[in-house]
Amino acid sequence: MLRARSSLEAHLYMDLHPCECGSPDFDRRHRLEQRGDDIVAVYEGACRECGRNRNFTFLMADEIPPPPPAFGGPEPSEIIDPGEFAEVAHRFSRRAGLDMLNSPESEHHTYRGAMAYALAAFEELLKFIPPGLDAIPASAFTSEVGRARYEREPAKFDRDILEMDIDLTRKILADIDAVSPPPGESGPRA
């Protein structure tokens, strides 16, 4: 059974594993079940594209998860590999960055959620670096997407590069807060 550290991680896993028809979208109905001493989250629903029934069952971690947008605690994911997290982080940060370039600063707050999600995905990458190493080992890449990304750009998974990505994303979030507070707030966020 898949072990999820949070519901956010479970949702990302489902997003990364589309239906046979290729669509990741389905009407997710959710329930929690007690199975022995374990809490299990069950997600079911019909694919919005082809109508096929989709079903995912996750053993939920015993620890209380950190608040969103974090995907889990200090341990690396067991169901999403670093290449998949990198793909998500770069996709969200790139899309939000391009949208901000083409919008007035006063509207940048609308992209804060996407950038915070990207930051959480970037932060997950560091969890895959074992103590004493300075990069994520090739053996951590277990998905097709992850292995392909690692083979294309193995240096992008060095600690120094990952820390630069995290630092840059934090700076972008700080800039968003400085120039574009959410509606109803004035001045930068604390």
Token output for 145: 């997407």
Question: From residue 15, how far is each of 65, 80, 145 by CA, in Å?
Answer: 20, 11, 13
pLDDT for position 190: 42
Question: From residue 178, how far is each of 19, 110, 173, 188 by CA, in Å?
Answer: 41, 13, 9, 5
Cβ-contact 19, 26 below 8 angstroms: yes
The answer, as to whether pTM is greater than 0.75, is yes
* pLDDT tens-place values along the chain, 190 residues long: 999 999 999 999 999 999 999 999 999 999 999 999 999 999 999 999 999 999 999 999 999 999 999 999 999 999 999 999 999 999 999 999 999 999 999 999 999 999 999 999 999 999 999 999 999 999 999 999 999 999 999 999 999 999 999 999 999 999 999 998 777 665 544 4
